[in-house]
Amino acid sequence: MKHNGLSDSFKMQTKFIPYGKQDINNNDIESVIEVLKSDYLTQGPQVAKFENKICSFVESNYSVAVNSATSALHMACKALGLEKGDFLWTSPITFVASANCARYCGANVDFVDIDISTGLISLEKLEEKLEIARKNNCLPKILVPVHLAGTSCDMRKINELSKRYKFKIIEDASHAIGGFYESKPVGNCQFSDIAIFSFHPVKIITTGEGGIATTNNESLYKKMNLFRSHGITKNEDQFLFESPGPWYYEQQSLGFNYRITDIAAALGQSQLKRIKNFVDCRNQNHKTYKNLLNDSQYNFLEIKDNVRSSLHLTILSIKGINSSQHKNYFMELRKRNIGVQLHYVPVHLHPYYRKLGFKEGDFPQSEAYARSSFSLPNYPKLSQKEIIYIASEIEKIWKTL
Ligand SMILES: *Cc1c(COP(=O)(O)O)cnc(C)c1O
Protein backbone atom coordinates (compact mmCIF):
# COMPACT_ATOMS: atom_id res chain seq x y z
CA MET A 1 0.00 0.00 0.00
CA LYS A 2 1.12 3.52 -0.79
CA HIS A 3 0.23 6.47 1.41
CA ASN A 4 1.28 9.45 -0.63
CA GLY A 5 2.07 12.57 1.29
CA LEU A 6 0.75 11.34 4.62
CA SER A 7 2.46 11.68 7.96
CA ASP A 8 4.82 9.26 9.66
CA SER A 9 2.35 8.52 12.37
CA PHE A 10 -0.09 7.43 9.67
CA LYS A 11 2.41 4.96 8.27
CA MET A 12 2.77 3.50 11.74
CA GLN A 13 -0.98 3.07 12.09
CA THR A 14 -1.78 0.10 9.89
CA LYS A 15 -4.59 -1.41 11.92
CA PHE A 16 -8.08 0.04 11.47
CA ILE A 17 -9.38 1.60 14.69
CA PRO A 18 -13.17 1.18 14.80
CA TYR A 19 -15.37 3.64 16.71
CA GLY A 20 -16.53 0.89 19.05
CA LYS A 21 -15.61 -2.67 19.89
CA GLN A 22 -16.46 -5.40 22.38
CA ASP A 23 -14.12 -6.56 25.13
CA ILE A 24 -14.26 -10.34 25.59
CA ASN A 25 -12.06 -12.17 28.11
CA ASN A 26 -11.55 -15.81 29.04
CA ASN A 27 -14.23 -15.75 31.71
CA ASP A 28 -16.73 -14.61 29.09
CA ILE A 29 -15.66 -17.48 26.84
CA GLU A 30 -15.83 -20.00 29.68
CA SER A 31 -19.33 -18.88 30.63
CA VAL A 32 -20.54 -19.48 27.08
CA ILE A 33 -18.86 -22.88 26.84
CA GLU A 34 -20.49 -23.93 30.09
CA VAL A 35 -23.94 -23.26 28.65
CA LEU A 36 -23.08 -25.08 25.43
CA LYS A 37 -22.30 -28.15 27.53
CA SER A 38 -25.48 -27.82 29.60
CA ASP A 39 -29.02 -29.08 28.96
CA TYR A 40 -30.51 -25.78 27.82
CA LEU A 41 -29.33 -23.50 25.03
CA THR A 42 -32.55 -21.51 25.30
CA GLN A 43 -35.46 -21.27 27.74
CA GLY A 44 -33.18 -22.52 30.50
CA PRO A 45 -32.09 -20.93 33.78
CA GLN A 46 -29.61 -18.32 32.45
CA VAL A 47 -32.17 -15.83 31.20
CA ALA A 48 -33.87 -15.32 34.58
CA LYS A 49 -30.44 -15.14 36.25
CA PHE A 50 -29.36 -12.44 33.83
CA GLU A 51 -32.60 -10.54 34.38
CA ASN A 52 -32.17 -10.67 38.16
CA LYS A 53 -28.63 -9.37 37.91
CA ILE A 54 -29.68 -6.51 35.65
CA CYS A 55 -32.50 -5.65 38.08
CA SER A 56 -30.12 -5.41 41.00
CA PHE A 57 -27.59 -3.47 38.98
CA VAL A 58 -30.01 -0.83 37.68
CA GLU A 59 -32.28 -0.99 40.76
CA SER A 60 -35.51 -1.82 38.93
CA ASN A 61 -38.21 -4.21 40.15
CA TYR A 62 -38.59 -6.15 36.91
CA SER A 63 -36.82 -6.81 33.63
CA VAL A 64 -37.49 -8.79 30.45
CA ALA A 65 -34.48 -9.84 28.38
CA VAL A 66 -34.94 -10.21 24.63
CA ASN A 67 -32.95 -10.73 21.44
CA SER A 68 -32.37 -7.02 20.73
CA ALA A 69 -33.13 -3.52 21.98
CA THR A 70 -35.28 -3.11 18.89
CA SER A 71 -37.45 -6.00 20.11
CA ALA A 72 -37.49 -4.43 23.58
CA LEU A 73 -38.74 -1.13 22.13
CA HIS A 74 -41.49 -2.90 20.19
CA MET A 75 -42.49 -4.90 23.26
CA ALA A 76 -42.51 -1.76 25.42
CA CYS A 77 -44.75 0.11 22.96
CA LYS A 78 -47.14 -2.84 22.85
CA ALA A 79 -47.28 -3.11 26.62
CA LEU A 80 -48.13 0.60 26.83
CA GLY A 81 -50.96 0.06 24.36
CA LEU A 82 -49.58 2.03 21.43
CA GLU A 83 -51.79 1.53 18.37
CA LYS A 84 -53.03 2.95 15.11
CA GLY A 85 -53.89 6.64 15.37
CA ASP A 86 -51.56 7.20 18.36
CA PHE A 87 -48.39 9.29 18.29
CA LEU A 88 -44.94 8.44 19.56
CA TRP A 89 -42.39 11.26 19.77
CA THR A 90 -38.62 10.92 19.88
CA SER A 91 -35.42 12.72 18.93
CA PRO A 92 -34.20 12.82 15.30
CA ILE A 93 -30.67 12.16 16.58
CA THR A 94 -31.02 8.49 17.38
CA PHE A 95 -30.87 5.10 15.76
CA VAL A 96 -33.94 4.44 13.59
CA ALA A 97 -35.23 1.78 16.02
CA SER A 98 -36.36 4.46 18.53
CA ALA A 99 -38.92 5.62 15.95
CA ASN A 100 -39.59 2.39 14.03
CA CYS A 101 -41.10 0.76 17.13
CA ALA A 102 -44.13 3.04 16.71
CA ARG A 103 -44.49 2.10 13.06
CA TYR A 104 -44.53 -1.62 14.01
CA CYS A 105 -47.64 -0.80 16.06
CA GLY A 106 -49.25 1.16 13.21
CA ALA A 107 -48.78 4.40 15.14
CA ASN A 108 -47.48 7.77 13.91
CA VAL A 109 -44.04 9.17 14.64
CA ASP A 110 -43.08 12.76 15.27
CA PHE A 111 -39.82 14.28 16.44
CA VAL A 112 -38.67 16.99 18.81
CA ASP A 113 -35.48 18.82 17.86
CA ILE A 114 -32.35 18.52 19.97
CA ASP A 115 -30.41 20.92 22.14
CA ILE A 116 -27.23 21.10 20.08
CA SER A 117 -24.97 21.56 23.12
CA THR A 118 -25.98 18.21 24.66
CA GLY A 119 -27.24 16.34 21.57
CA LEU A 120 -30.30 15.37 23.64
CA ILE A 121 -33.97 16.17 23.07
CA SER A 122 -34.60 19.86 23.79
CA LEU A 123 -36.93 20.22 26.75
CA GLU A 124 -37.89 23.77 25.74
CA LYS A 125 -38.93 22.57 22.29
CA LEU A 126 -40.67 19.58 23.83
CA GLU A 127 -42.74 21.78 26.11
CA GLU A 128 -43.63 24.14 23.25
CA LYS A 129 -44.64 21.28 21.01
CA LEU A 130 -46.70 19.62 23.75
CA GLU A 131 -48.62 22.84 24.34
CA ILE A 132 -49.45 23.10 20.63
CA ALA A 133 -50.40 19.40 20.52
CA ARG A 134 -52.68 19.86 23.51
CA LYS A 135 -54.56 22.63 21.71
CA ASN A 136 -54.83 20.50 18.57
CA ASN A 137 -55.83 17.43 20.52
CA CYS A 138 -52.96 15.29 19.23
CA LEU A 139 -50.76 14.75 22.27
CA PRO A 140 -48.34 11.82 22.04
CA LYS A 141 -49.14 8.59 23.86
CA ILE A 142 -45.44 7.81 24.30
CA LEU A 143 -42.26 9.85 24.44
CA VAL A 144 -38.94 8.08 23.81
CA PRO A 145 -36.11 10.20 25.24
CA VAL A 146 -32.77 8.91 23.98
CA HIS A 147 -29.72 8.98 26.25
CA LEU A 148 -27.35 9.76 23.40
CA ALA A 149 -23.74 8.71 23.97
CA GLY A 150 -24.69 7.28 27.37
CA THR A 151 -25.69 10.65 28.83
CA SER A 152 -29.07 10.62 30.55
CA CYS A 153 -31.68 13.16 29.54
CA ASP A 154 -33.14 15.34 32.29
CA MET A 155 -35.62 12.68 33.40
CA ARG A 156 -37.04 14.59 36.36
CA LYS A 157 -38.18 17.38 34.05
CA ILE A 158 -39.48 14.95 31.40
CA ASN A 159 -41.42 13.14 34.11
CA GLU A 160 -43.03 16.42 35.21
CA LEU A 161 -44.11 17.11 31.63
CA SER A 162 -45.49 13.55 31.33
CA LYS A 163 -47.78 14.19 34.29
CA ARG A 164 -48.95 17.50 32.90
CA TYR A 165 -49.55 16.23 29.37
CA LYS A 166 -50.39 12.60 30.18
CA PHE A 167 -47.92 10.68 28.09
CA LYS A 168 -45.93 7.54 28.87
CA ILE A 169 -42.13 7.39 28.85
CA ILE A 170 -39.83 4.73 27.37
CA GLU A 171 -36.19 5.64 27.94
CA ASP A 172 -34.05 4.52 25.02
CA ALA A 173 -31.04 3.81 27.20
CA SER A 174 -29.37 1.61 24.56
CA HIS A 175 -26.14 3.54 25.14
CA ALA A 176 -26.48 4.17 28.81
CA ILE A 177 -26.18 1.06 30.98
CA GLY A 178 -23.64 1.85 33.67
CA GLY A 179 -24.56 5.53 33.60
CA PHE A 180 -26.17 7.51 36.43
CA TYR A 181 -28.71 10.30 36.74
CA GLU A 182 -28.96 12.17 40.05
CA SER A 183 -26.61 9.50 41.49
CA LYS A 184 -29.00 6.66 40.67
CA PRO A 185 -28.44 4.07 37.95
CA VAL A 186 -30.03 4.67 34.56
CA GLY A 187 -32.76 2.06 34.11
CA ASN A 188 -34.19 2.34 37.63
CA CYS A 189 -37.35 3.83 36.06
CA GLN A 190 -37.90 6.35 38.84
CA PHE A 191 -39.01 8.82 36.18
CA SER A 192 -40.21 6.53 33.38
CA ASP A 193 -42.51 3.61 32.66
CA ILE A 194 -39.93 1.44 30.93
CA ALA A 195 -36.24 1.72 30.06
CA ILE A 196 -34.53 -0.34 27.39
CA PHE A 197 -30.87 -1.29 26.88
CA SER A 198 -28.99 -2.79 23.93
CA PHE A 199 -26.31 -5.45 24.16
CA HIS A 200 -25.05 -5.16 20.59
CA PRO A 201 -21.22 -5.56 20.52
CA VAL A 202 -20.53 -1.84 20.15
CA LYS A 203 -22.57 -1.00 23.26
CA ILE A 204 -21.35 -0.97 26.87
CA ILE A 205 -21.76 -4.71 27.55
CA THR A 206 -22.64 -7.33 24.96
CA THR A 207 -24.54 -10.57 24.48
CA GLY A 208 -23.83 -10.69 20.72
CA GLU A 209 -27.31 -9.54 19.87
CA GLY A 210 -29.59 -8.74 22.78
CA GLY A 211 -31.55 -6.21 24.74
CA ILE A 212 -33.61 -5.79 27.88
CA ALA A 213 -36.53 -3.75 29.15
CA THR A 214 -36.68 -2.70 32.81
CA THR A 215 -39.75 -1.46 34.69
CA ASN A 216 -41.20 -1.10 38.17
CA ASN A 217 -44.75 -1.76 36.97
CA GLU A 218 -45.91 -5.34 37.46
CA SER A 219 -48.65 -5.17 34.86
CA LEU A 220 -46.25 -3.86 32.18
CA TYR A 221 -43.80 -6.58 33.16
CA LYS A 222 -46.42 -9.30 32.70
CA LYS A 223 -47.46 -7.94 29.32
CA MET A 224 -43.89 -7.77 28.08
CA ASN A 225 -43.19 -11.25 29.36
CA LEU A 226 -46.08 -12.67 27.35
CA PHE A 227 -45.22 -10.64 24.27
CA ARG A 228 -41.66 -11.98 24.18
CA SER A 229 -42.88 -15.50 23.56
CA HIS A 230 -45.93 -15.53 21.23
CA GLY A 231 -48.33 -14.26 23.91
CA ILE A 232 -48.16 -17.74 25.42
CA THR A 233 -48.14 -18.56 29.12
CA LYS A 234 -47.44 -21.89 30.74
CA ASN A 235 -48.13 -20.51 34.18
CA GLU A 236 -51.30 -22.13 35.54
CA ASP A 237 -52.04 -19.20 37.86
CA GLN A 238 -52.39 -16.96 34.83
CA PHE A 239 -54.66 -19.16 32.68
CA LEU A 240 -57.88 -17.55 31.48
CA PHE A 241 -59.47 -20.96 30.83
CA GLU A 242 -59.51 -23.93 33.13
CA SER A 243 -56.58 -26.23 32.36
CA PRO A 244 -57.77 -29.45 30.66
CA GLY A 245 -54.54 -31.29 31.54
CA PRO A 246 -50.82 -31.12 32.13
CA TRP A 247 -50.03 -30.45 28.41
CA TYR A 248 -51.94 -27.20 28.45
CA TYR A 249 -50.50 -23.81 27.59
CA GLU A 250 -52.42 -20.76 26.57
CA GLN A 251 -51.98 -18.04 23.97
CA GLN A 252 -53.61 -14.94 25.41
CA SER A 253 -52.41 -12.21 23.05
CA LEU A 254 -50.50 -11.87 19.80
CA GLY A 255 -46.81 -11.95 20.64
CA PHE A 256 -43.56 -12.65 18.84
CA ASN A 257 -40.54 -14.85 19.32
CA TYR A 258 -38.20 -12.25 20.80
CA ARG A 259 -36.48 -14.65 23.21
CA ILE A 260 -32.79 -14.34 24.02
CA THR A 261 -30.77 -17.58 24.26
CA ASP A 262 -29.18 -18.92 27.43
CA ILE A 263 -25.85 -18.70 25.62
CA ALA A 264 -26.28 -14.94 25.22
CA ALA A 265 -27.68 -14.49 28.73
CA ALA A 266 -24.62 -16.22 30.22
CA LEU A 267 -22.31 -13.94 28.24
CA GLY A 268 -24.30 -10.97 29.52
CA GLN A 269 -23.86 -12.03 33.15
CA SER A 270 -20.15 -12.42 32.68
CA GLN A 271 -19.85 -9.03 30.96
CA LEU A 272 -21.90 -7.33 33.66
CA LYS A 273 -19.19 -8.21 36.21
CA ARG A 274 -16.81 -5.84 34.41
CA ILE A 275 -19.22 -3.01 33.64
CA LYS A 276 -17.73 -0.59 36.15
CA ASN A 277 -14.32 -1.01 34.61
CA PHE A 278 -15.72 -0.60 31.08
CA VAL A 279 -17.42 2.67 31.98
CA ASP A 280 -14.35 3.94 33.85
CA CYS A 281 -12.15 3.23 30.80
CA ARG A 282 -14.58 5.01 28.48
CA ASN A 283 -14.66 8.03 30.80
CA GLN A 284 -10.86 8.06 30.96
CA ASN A 285 -10.56 7.87 27.15
CA HIS A 286 -13.04 10.71 26.82
CA LYS A 287 -11.05 12.83 29.27
CA THR A 288 -7.84 12.19 27.34
CA TYR A 289 -9.48 13.36 24.11
CA LYS A 290 -10.77 16.49 25.82
CA ASN A 291 -7.36 17.30 27.24
CA LEU A 292 -5.67 16.83 23.88
CA LEU A 293 -8.28 18.66 21.81
CA ASN A 294 -8.74 21.71 24.02
CA ASP A 295 -8.79 24.46 21.38
CA SER A 296 -11.96 26.50 21.06
CA GLN A 297 -13.02 25.01 17.71
CA TYR A 298 -13.45 21.57 19.32
CA ASN A 299 -16.76 21.01 21.06
CA PHE A 300 -17.59 17.86 22.98
CA LEU A 301 -21.21 17.20 23.88
CA GLU A 302 -21.99 18.73 27.25
CA ILE A 303 -22.61 16.43 30.23
CA LYS A 304 -24.52 18.03 33.12
CA ASP A 305 -23.19 17.79 36.69
CA ASN A 306 -26.01 15.51 37.87
CA VAL A 307 -25.18 12.92 35.20
CA ARG A 308 -22.48 10.29 35.03
CA SER A 309 -22.33 9.28 31.36
CA SER A 310 -21.40 5.74 30.38
CA LEU A 311 -19.66 7.42 27.42
CA HIS A 312 -20.75 4.89 24.84
CA LEU A 313 -19.70 7.55 22.34
CA THR A 314 -17.27 10.44 22.38
CA ILE A 315 -18.91 12.91 20.03
CA LEU A 316 -16.89 15.84 18.78
CA SER A 317 -18.25 18.73 16.77
CA ILE A 318 -16.08 21.27 15.06
CA LYS A 319 -17.28 24.82 15.26
CA GLY A 320 -17.95 26.59 12.01
CA ILE A 321 -17.15 23.79 9.58
CA ASN A 322 -19.40 23.41 6.54
CA SER A 323 -20.71 20.13 5.16
CA SER A 324 -17.96 19.68 2.62
CA GLN A 325 -15.29 20.21 5.29
CA HIS A 326 -17.19 17.75 7.47
CA LYS A 327 -17.13 15.19 4.68
CA ASN A 328 -13.42 15.83 4.08
CA TYR A 329 -12.71 15.27 7.75
CA PHE A 330 -14.41 11.90 7.54
CA MET A 331 -12.55 10.88 4.42
CA GLU A 332 -9.18 12.00 5.74
CA LEU A 333 -9.66 10.25 9.09
CA ARG A 334 -10.87 7.04 7.46
CA LYS A 335 -7.80 7.14 5.16
CA ARG A 336 -5.72 7.19 8.32
CA ASN A 337 -7.50 4.08 9.58
CA ILE A 338 -9.52 6.02 12.12
CA GLY A 339 -13.08 4.69 12.09
CA VAL A 340 -15.02 7.86 12.82
CA GLN A 341 -18.79 7.58 12.47
CA LEU A 342 -21.81 9.87 12.45
CA HIS A 343 -24.33 9.14 15.21
CA TYR A 344 -26.75 9.66 13.58
CA VAL A 345 -28.17 10.46 10.18
CA PRO A 346 -31.22 12.43 11.43
CA VAL A 347 -34.02 9.86 11.37
CA HIS A 348 -36.54 12.16 9.65
CA LEU A 349 -34.22 12.51 6.62
CA HIS A 350 -34.16 8.81 5.73
CA PRO A 351 -36.16 8.01 2.57
CA TYR A 352 -38.64 5.97 4.62
CA TYR A 353 -39.48 8.93 6.88
CA ARG A 354 -39.43 11.48 4.04
CA LYS A 355 -42.12 9.39 2.41
CA LEU A 356 -44.17 9.93 5.56
CA GLY A 357 -43.90 13.70 5.01
CA PHE A 358 -40.73 14.80 6.82
CA LYS A 359 -38.26 17.02 5.00
CA GLU A 360 -35.02 18.92 5.30
CA GLY A 361 -35.42 21.95 7.52
CA ASP A 362 -37.94 20.31 9.85
CA PHE A 363 -35.45 19.96 12.73
CA PRO A 364 -32.69 22.54 12.15
CA GLN A 365 -30.60 21.85 15.26
CA SER A 366 -30.48 18.14 14.53
CA GLU A 367 -29.48 18.83 10.95
CA ALA A 368 -26.79 21.32 12.01
CA TYR A 369 -25.47 18.76 14.50
CA ALA A 370 -25.27 16.11 11.75
CA ARG A 371 -23.29 18.49 9.52
CA SER A 372 -20.58 19.14 12.09
CA SER A 373 -20.25 16.11 14.39
CA PHE A 374 -18.51 12.80 14.48
CA SER A 375 -17.96 10.02 16.98
CA LEU A 376 -14.34 9.30 17.80
CA PRO A 377 -13.21 5.78 18.64
CA ASN A 378 -13.95 5.00 22.29
CA TYR A 379 -13.94 1.53 23.81
CA PRO A 380 -12.24 -0.06 26.83
CA LYS A 381 -9.25 -1.55 24.99
CA LEU A 382 -8.45 1.63 23.04
CA SER A 383 -4.92 2.58 24.07
CA GLN A 384 -3.75 6.03 25.17
CA LYS A 385 -1.26 5.87 22.28
CA GLU A 386 -4.07 5.39 19.80
CA ILE A 387 -5.96 8.33 21.31
CA ILE A 388 -2.89 10.53 20.98
CA TYR A 389 -2.54 9.45 17.36
CA ILE A 390 -6.21 10.18 16.62
CA ALA A 391 -6.12 13.59 18.29
CA SER A 392 -2.94 14.62 16.51
CA GLU A 393 -4.37 13.60 13.12
CA ILE A 394 -7.52 15.61 13.85
CA GLU A 395 -5.36 18.67 14.54
CA LYS A 396 -3.32 18.16 11.37
CA ILE A 397 -6.42 17.83 9.21
CA TRP A 398 -7.88 20.99 10.77
CA LYS A 399 -4.87 22.93 9.50
CA THR A 400 -5.38 21.72 5.93
CA LEU A 401 -9.13 22.30 5.69
C1 LIG B 1 -28.25 0.19 19.19
C2 LIG B 1 -29.45 1.01 19.38
C3 LIG B 1 -30.74 0.51 19.28
C4 LIG B 1 -31.04 -0.88 18.81
O5 LIG B 1 -30.32 -1.83 19.46
P6 LIG B 1 -30.31 -3.34 18.93
O7 LIG B 1 -29.97 -4.12 20.15
O8 LIG B 1 -29.26 -3.39 17.88
O9 LIG B 1 -31.66 -3.65 18.39
C10 LIG B 1 -31.81 1.34 19.57
N11 LIG B 1 -31.62 2.61 19.92
C12 LIG B 1 -30.39 3.15 20.00
C13 LIG B 1 -30.25 4.58 20.42
C14 LIG B 1 -29.27 2.37 19.71
O15 LIG B 1 -28.06 2.92 19.76
**Per-residue confidence of the chain (401 residues) as pLDDT tens digits?**
444 444 555 455 678 999 999 999 999 999 999 999 999 999 999 999 999 999 999 999 999 999 999 999 999 999 999 999 999 999 999 999 999 999 999 999 999 999 999 999 999 999 999 999 999 999 999 999 999 999 999 999 999 999 999 999 999 999 999 999 999 999 999 999 999 999 999 999 999 999 999 999 999 999 999 999 999 999 999 999 999 999 999 999 999 999 999 999 999 999 999 999 999 999 999 999 999 999 999 999 999 999 999 999 999 999 989 999 999 999 999 999 999 999 999 999 999 999 999 999 999 999 999 999 999 999 999 999 999 999 999 999 988 88
- Choose among 335, 295, 285: nearest CA to 319: 295
Mutual angle of helices 155-165 and 123-135, in 10-degree steps: 0
Residues 6+ apart with CB under 8 A from 304: 118, 151, 154
Residue 198 CA: nearest ligand 1 atom is 7
CA of 199 to the centre of ligand 1 (A): 8
For ligand 1, residues with CB inside 6 Å are 68-70, 94-95, 97-98, 146, 172, 174-175, 198, 200, 211
Residue 175 CA: nearest ligand 1 atom is 15
CA of 95 to the centre of ligand 1 (A): 6
Residue 68 CA: nearest ligand 1 atom is 7
CA distance 70 to 54: 18
CA distance 80 to 87: 12
CA of 234 to the centre of ligand 1 (A): 30
- Choose among 302, 298, 310, 309: nearest CA to 372: 298
CA of 101 to the centre of ligand 1 (A): 11
CA of 329 to the centre of ligand 1 (A): 26
